[in-house]
Amino acid sequence: MVADMGLFGKSKVQKLGDSLTERLKGNLDGAAMTQAELDALDPSLFALAEYDAAAAERSGYSNYSYWKSTCRVFWKNRAARFLLFLLAALLIFTFIQPYLPNQKDDITIYYDQSTDLPLKNKLPGEEPGFFLGTNSIGQDLWARIWSGTRTSLFIGFVVALSQCIIGVGIGVLWGYVRKVDKFFTELYNIINNVPRTIILILISYILRPSLSTIIIAMCFVGWVPMSLLIRNQIVIIRDRDYNLASRCLGSSSLRIMVKNLLPYLVSIIMLQMALAVPAAITDEVFLTYIGLGLPLDMPSLGTLIIAGRAIITSAKLQYQLLFPCLSLSLVTVCFYVIGNAFADAADPKNHVN
């Protein structure tokens, strides 16, 4: 207080006090009600309340539903909502595109009717009917991109699904059955020490490059982080009281795992699946690039990008690289943003407004 006085001086403090008093007085005057307003109030507000037994017994209740709240929070995220629509449209279009009218085939080489030469390297719009032009041997780039996206999405979904099944299966066993905990932990330590890219390269090198091979290779490396995540969650909820009670009542381990534990993990599993799809698509591009992926005549985003990369030095033909890259980026961004928005929405902490 002494320091304050020194800093501001007596007159200033006095002034401040005066102005505060003035302000308070003004507030009180404004708050007072006129007689007319007082008359308008409902007299029942001032009557004694009857004793109501039912009202006294009423307990608090909120109609909270986990999934409804999750959807509501997710829906509020505008970017995620937009990308969800975009992804849905993309998925639908990818799968119906070959059945639409006026579509070219993705692996047919097209020839010029008058000269009988293949329609090589036509720029977008240069040749009627070829919306995105043609590639270096005369195939329709538009059809190839959609077909490639289809292949890549197929790989992504199959890998995500199988990773999820293997990862959840092993994760639940690892977390719930104590006997196998040590074994799986040691196994995890060994596998996790080796970078997954190396395992991916090794497995794909030994098997013959094909669609099924790269799916197998990706599944082999993909379940490890997934099962660790599931295991950690299971360990947390394994010994909660309701599981203890369930065990005392004689439920089998299988029933506890499937009925008591798994429903808790649905949101985690869904997030992991949403992120596994773009990861698999990225891995496909990588494997194809180092020569262990799909054969180059089979359209996928990886093979298209590599075909475009081969002619990167010609400035005119860069569209053959840019369009597949654009498609790849679009698909992966959609999954990434939607997955993360869903993870946020699935967290009950975000359900409170």
Partner 1 sequence: MAKYIIKRLGSAVISLFIITACIFLLLRLMPIEGYLGAGYEKMSPEVVQNQLRSLGLLDPVWVQLKNFYVNLFHGNLGISWIYRPNVPITDILAAKIPISISMGAAAMALALVVGLPLGVVMSRFKGGLPDKLGTSFIVLLNAVPVVVFYLIIQLYGSKIFGVPMLFSKTDWRTWILPTVCLSIGSIANYAMWMRRYMVDELNSDYVRLAMAKGVSRRNIMYHHVFRNAFVPMIQLLPASLLMTIMGSIYVESLFSVPGMGGLLVDVIKRQDNTMVQALVLIFATMGILGLLLGDLLMALADPRIKLTRGEDGR
Q: Tell me whether residue 119 or residue 224 sits nearer to partner 1 (CB atom).
A: 224
**Residue with Cβ nearer partner 1 (282 or 350):** 282
Burial of 151 (0-12, 13-18, 19+ CB in 10 A): buried
CB of 313 to partner 1, least distance (A): 7
Least distance from C-beta 333 to partner 1, angstroms?
Answer: 5
Q: Which one, 172 or 287, has the nearer CB to partner 1?
A: 287
DSSP per-residue letters across 125-136 = TTSTT-TT-B-T
| Minimum CB distance to partner 1, residue 130 (Å) | 23
* Closer CB to partner 1, 109 or 123, in the complex: 123
Question: Minimal distance in Å, beta carbon 157 to partner 1?
Answer: 17
Both tokens assigned to 136: 């270096």
Closest distance of CB 234 from partner 1, Å: 17
* Identity of residue 8: F
Q: What's the N-to-C CA distance of the chain in angstroms?
A: 42
| Closest CB 229 distance from partner 1, rounded Å | 9
Using CA atoms, how far apart are residues 82 and 75, in angstroms rounded to an integer? 10
The span from the CA of 225 to the CA of 230, in Å, is: 9
- Length of the chain equals 353
Nearer to partner 1 by C-beta: 202 or 237? Answer: 202
Distance in angstroms (rounded) separating the CA atoms of residues 16 and 214? 77
CA distance 336 to 195: 22
270 vs 330, beta carbon nearer partner 1: 330
Query: Which residue, 143 or 334, has its beta carbon nearer to partner 1?
Result: 334
Give dist(CA 261, CA 234) in Å, integer: 7
Q: How far is the CB of 335 from partner 1 (least distance, A)?
A: 8
Interatomic CA distance for residues 110 and 129, integer angstroms: 11
- The helix/strand/coil state of 57 is helix
DSSP per-residue string spanning 168-202: HHHHHHHHH-GGGHHHHHHHHHHHHHS-HHHHHHH
**Residues forming the site for partner 1 (CB under 8 A):** 189-190, 193-198, 201-202, 205-206, 225, 278, 281-282, 285-286, 289-292, 305, 309, 312-313, 315, 318, 321, 325, 328-329, 332-333, 336-337
Nearer to partner 1 by C-beta: 119 or 337?
A: 337
d(CA 130, CA 127): 6
**Shortest separation between residue 195's beta carbon and partner 1, angstroms:** 4
- The answer to whether 158 touches 222, Cβ cutoff 8 Å, is no
